[in-house]
Amino acid sequence: MNLSNFFSATESCPPCQQLNFRYKPSSGGNALIRPGAHLLLHFIIPGIAAGLSFRDRWKSAWIIMTLTIVVDLDHLIANPIYDPNRCSIGFHPLHTYPAIFIYMILAMMNKTRLIGLGLLIHVALDGFDCIWMFL
Ligand SMILES: [Zn+2]
Q: What is the spatial distance between Cα 95 and Cα 18, in angstroms, rounded to a whole number?
A: 17
Q: What integer pLDDT is reported at residue 76 of this predicted model? A: 94
Q: What is the spatial distance between Cα 53 and Cα 55, in angstroms, rounded to a whole number?
A: 6
Of 1, 7, 17, nearest in space to 131 by CA: 1
Of 99, 91, 102, 101, nearest in space to 129 by CA: 91
Give the model's confidence band at 35: pLDDT under 50 very low, under 70 low, under 90 confident, else very high: confident
Q: What is the spatial distance between Cα 134 and Cα 129, in angstroms, rounded to a whole number?
A: 9
11-30 pLDDT, tens per residue? 444 444 545 455 565 555 56
pTM of the model: 0.78
Range of the domain at 47: 3-133
How many angstroms is it from 30 CA to the middle of ligand 1? 19
Q: What integer pLDDT is reported at residue 8 of this predicted model? A: 44
Q: What integer pLDDT is reported at residue 7 of this predicted model? A: 44
How many angstroms is it from 42 CA to the middle of ligand 1? 9
47-101 pLDDT, tens per residue? 999 999 999 999 999 999 999 999 999 999 998 998 888 899 999 999 999 999 9
How many angstroms is it from 72 CA to the middle of ligand 1? 5
How many domains does the structure of the chain reveal?
1
How many angstroms is it from 71 CA to the middle of ligand 1? 6
How many angstroms is it from 36 CA to the middle of ligand 1? 13
Q: What integer pLDDT is reported at residue 25 of this predicted model? A: 57
How many angstroms is it from 92 CA to the middle of ligand 1? 8
